[in-house]
Amino acid sequence: MDKVMRLASEKGVVIFTKSSCCLCYAVNILFKELGVRPMVHEIDQDPEGREIEKALLRLGCSAPVPAVFIGGKLRGSTNEIMSLHLSGSLTHLLKPYQSLSS
């Protein structure tokens, strides 16, 4: 759990993913289209991946990946992120992290 929270606070937007997950890819592309370059941590490439996956579930993520943290706070997986996006709330949350070049 400590590693998850440390990684989640390293950058404004952090996405825990698996390299073979199509939903992870879709969420990552959404953020890039919204002008945000998230830190992506592929848990299947991490020797502690299983422990990270369990920690994400304990934190309340509905699915272990993608797990999206914005400002160090868990915002959820694909369903929660898409709901925020469709309601217009995601753009507001991401405003401080959008790159100036977009």
The reported pLDDT for the residue numbered 100 is 55
Domain membership of residue 72 as a residue range: 3-95
Helix/strand/coil for 15: strand
- The answer to whether residue 19 is domain-embedded is yes
The predicted-structure confidence for 65-75, as pLDDT tens digits, reads as follows 999 999 999 99
Instruction: Say if 101 falls within a structural domain.
Output: no
* Number of domain units in the chain: 1
Could you tell me if residue 102 is inside a domain? Answer: no
User: CB within 8 A of 98, min separation 6: which ones?
Assistant: 34, 35, 36
Give per-10-residue mean pLDDT for the chain (102 aa).
Answer: 91 96 96 95 96 94 91 95 97 89 44
Q: How far is CA 34 from CA 44, 66, 71, 96, in A?
A: 26, 17, 16, 12
